[in-house]
Amino acid sequence: MRGPHNIWRLIRTGATLERTGAMKIILDAVEAPALMRGAVRGLVWPFQWLGLKGDVKLPPVTRALQALGPAYIKFGQVLSTRPDVVGTELAVQLRVLQDKLPPFPIEVAKAEVEKELGVDIDTVFADFSEPVAAASIAQVHKARLVSDGEFVAIKVLRPGIEKAFQKDIDAFYLAASIFNTFSPSARRLRPMDVIEHFEGVVLSELDLRLESASASEFADNTVDDAGFALPKVRWGLSARRVMTLDWAEGINAADVEAIAAAGHDLTDLSRRVLQLFLNHALRDGYFHADMHHGNLKIAPNGDIIAYDFGIMGHIDEYTRRVYAEILFGFIRRDYKRVAEVHFEAGYVPANRDVDEFARALRAVGEPIFGMNAEQISMARLLSYLFEVTERFGMETRTELILLQRTMVVVEGVARTFDHRMNIWDAAKPVVEDYIKESIGPKAALQDLAKTARVLARFGPRLPALAEAALIKLGEDQTPPPRRSYLPALGWMSLGALGASAVAIAVALFG
């Protein structure tokens, strides 16, 4: 319940943030007003002895969130995807937040698997290992299937994690409402919306059937992508609290020395990881939104293997086209076109000056292009871009924030393989191909065909819909002579027939 009883949780949270030194950093990041800073720190300072000490070797914010437990760790990870809320600097710190907790006993995991799957674990799995990874929500075991001898990864939710998360989420809501009430200047950050977004992410991760579905959809989209592989979901051995995947054998993407020693081409890996991500985002509109080193392996044959599908990003087709045009405009250094796209999409208020906005974008882009390949940074570009768009009144778009944040992470992975990699050179062919397919004449014909298909479905109903609309119009004002309706109905019926014909032709001939 989101009631006053959560105040104790907030006191403990505030005390921990103050004791670890994280409180000042967070208040600075959200640009809290001086009065609020003084009030908050004045309230929690006497209680800091109640706060958790945490690991003193960690940075303050990371130290505090890890000490506070699973919900806070996950909250920090989700906030790392929202530099618009916490600022770029803090978002970067939160991205390195360690998601490692003590594992729960293997006996508990086995009992959970038997309960969820309704099987005798020894008849289904052999060589059920101790945890190979333990995170805030679940842990992973390696096992071998008795049926075919194949190795699999079994992900099991922590016992009682749902209840524990709900308690902390309720406290987060209380904190957001207090923040919203007593800090009017911070309302632009929409604290209640941030918590709702966090709750949505967590609830989807607490049902492993949804993660299994994400993995399956992602696999269908990328089945023909050369040099990319995903572990297969074992649906018959997956449920709400248990998820089973084929075991992904490979070298962790962070172990560059081992990858190089295995004979893999690091320059090719650097280019490929960025191009694969852009393809997934632009071509499919569905991408892995947590593509850091820990979720990637390099297979013996050189394939990039991705796993852990708890956070996936989705972008609708229109937004993909807008994003591609913006990215392509920066690649071509056509800042006027980048500015126009922002206005056409409604991202920037129409009362602002497009030429002034284009000049501001030039100030963002030109310093980047003046650097050599090793200095070019997508993170720096996006940081500058956030500043400019905020100054021109651009509203935050969560789907683009997630996309941009993931691109920064992927850039980091790519540069781990080859620090000389030029992200613009790598991105250009992918973006160009997408522009040709989605914005050129061929795309216009495809859009018309889609429109025709929609109209065709309503074809038989168009005369009745037109008549009903005209009758309604007649009720609101004196109707014209009835004979004037007939041409309109005739044209609408003809239009329906034409739409049907086009749809049939498209279906038959593509």
Please check whether residue 399 is in contact with residue 315, taking contact to mean a CB–CB distance below 8 angstroms.
yes
- 133-137, 150-154, 278-282, 381-385 — which is least confidently predicted? 381-385
Interval 148-159 mean pLDDT: 95
Give the residue carrying structure tokens 């690091």: 266
Predicted local confidence at residue 276, as pLDDT: 95
Q: Which is catalytic among the residues 84, 170, 290, 308? A: 290
Active site residue 284: no
The residue-averaged pLDDT of 28-45 equals: 71
Q: What is the mean pLDDT of residues 58-84?
A: 79
DSSP structural state of residue 367: H
Q: How much of the chain, in percent, has pLDDT values that exceed 70?
A: 76
Confidence of residue 502 (pLDDT cuts 50, 70, 90): very low
Under DSSP, the state recorded for 119 is S
pLDDT band at 446 (very low <50, low <70, confident <90, very high): low
| Whether pLDDT at 42 is above 90 | no
Query: With 80 as the cut, is the pLDDT of residue 393 above it?
Result: no
Of residues 481 and 103, more confidently modeled: 103
Q: Residue 241 pLDDT > 50, yes or no?
A: yes
Residue 500 has a pLDDT of 34
Res. 2: pLDDT tops 60: no
For residue 131, the SS3 value is strand
Question: 139 pairs with which residues across the strands?
Answer: 134, 156
Give residue 204's pLDDT. 80
The per-residue pLDDT of the chain, averaged, comes to 79
Q: Worst-scoring range by mean pLDDT, 66-70, 300-304, 350-354, 413-417?
A: 66-70
Confidence label for 299 from pLDDT (cuts 50, 70 and 90):
very high
CATH of 100-169+202-247, one of 3.30.70.270, 3.30.200.20, 1.20.1250.20, 3.30.460.80: 3.30.200.20
Q: How confident is the model at residue 259 (pLDDT cuts 50, 70, 90)?
A: very high
Tell me the mean pLDDT in the region 226-254.
Answer: 95
- For the ranges 127-136, 139-148, 457-466, 467-476, the one whose mean pLDDT is highest: 139-148
Helices (H), 133-255: 161-182, 191-205, 208-222
**Regarding predicted confidence, which is higher, 274 or 85?**
274
Q: What percent of the chain has pLDDT over 90?
A: 29
**What value does the mean pLDDT take over residues 441-453?**
66
Give me the mean pLDDT over the 337-346 stretch. 88
Instruction: Please name the residues in contact with 487: beta carbons below 8 A apart, sequence gap of 6 or more.
Output: none
Which ranges in 223-265 belong to alpha helices (H)?
A: 256-261
- Element of type H or E holding 288: strand 286-288
- Torsion angles phi and psi, residue 132, rounded to 5: -95, -15
- Residue of 235 and 374 predicted with greater confidence: 235
Between CA 271 and CA 414 the distance in angstroms is 7
Tell whether the model's pLDDT for residue 172 goes beyond 70. Answer: yes
Has residue 163 got a pLDDT over 60? yes
